[in-house]
Amino acid sequence: MGSKKADELMKEESKLDMTPIIDVTFNLLIFFMCTLKFKTLEGKLVSYLPTDRGLSSKQEDVMKEDVEIILKVPKSDWAKPAIERTIEFQRNGSATPFGRCVKVAVDPQDPKKTTIVYDPPNTPDLIKKYMTDVRARSPESKAKINAYARCPHLHVVNILNMMIEAEFTEISYSGIPNTLVKDLQSGEIK
């Protein structure tokens, strides 16, 4: 009879009660969550910066240089037709001009083709180089075309195209009216 009970006990599956194990696991999980401290950065980042510059409280003065091209027509050419006028190209603050346009020739067979003669011949290159140099030094710089009275529109458009090629995004234009030119020449306005 003893062997019958042993056989029955062996046939019965032994069941493991998982409730206490789950309770202990959740208790451990809650314990570790409550005792865990998260490390907060709060604006502190470790970096290896030079100590002699870059962290100074003094603000560095950044000089922003703008480009202003001035187109002038000499008084002796005011009465001439627009195509025959001499145009002098200057930058603001400089008495030395880049050069001048001495002649505009229009092809009689194709009026859309014009030839511009500069003195010196590399005047457009000098203007382009000046604009690209300023743009490289200060990318936030602005450009301005200041065309005096009686300046043909052709030259204003050429300067505008050069400014666009130099990647200026803020370009302004100002023309000086004839009455203002007279006041400037007479000395009423300085």
pLDDT of residue 30: 93
- pLDDT score for 24: 93
Q: Name 86's Cβ contacts closer than 8 Å, sequence gap at least 6.
A: 73, 74, 77, 100, 101, 102
Nearest to 69 by CA among 118, 115, 130: 130
Task: Using alpha carbons, select from 123, 63, 130, 121 the residue that is nearest to residue 92.
Answer: 130
Q: Percent of the chain having pLDDT more than 90?
A: 5
* Tens of pLDDT, residues 59-81: 555 567 888 888 888 888 888 88
Q: How confident is the model at residue 28 (pLDDT cuts 50, 70, 90)?
A: very high
For residue 175, give both structure tokens: 């023309």
Is the pLDDT reported for residue 180 higher than 70?
no
State residue 141's pLDDT score.
Answer: 85
Which of 97, 106, 105, 94 shows the shortest CA–CA distance to 72?
97
pLDDT at residue 61, rounded to an integer: 59
Domain boundaries of the chain, sorted by first residue: 67-186
Phi, psi of 71 (to 5 degrees): -115, 115
- Three-state secondary-structure class, residue 39: coil
Per-residue confidence (pLDDT) for residue 29, from 0 to 100: 93
Q: What is the pTM of this model?
A: 0.58
Average per-residue pLDDT for the chain? 78
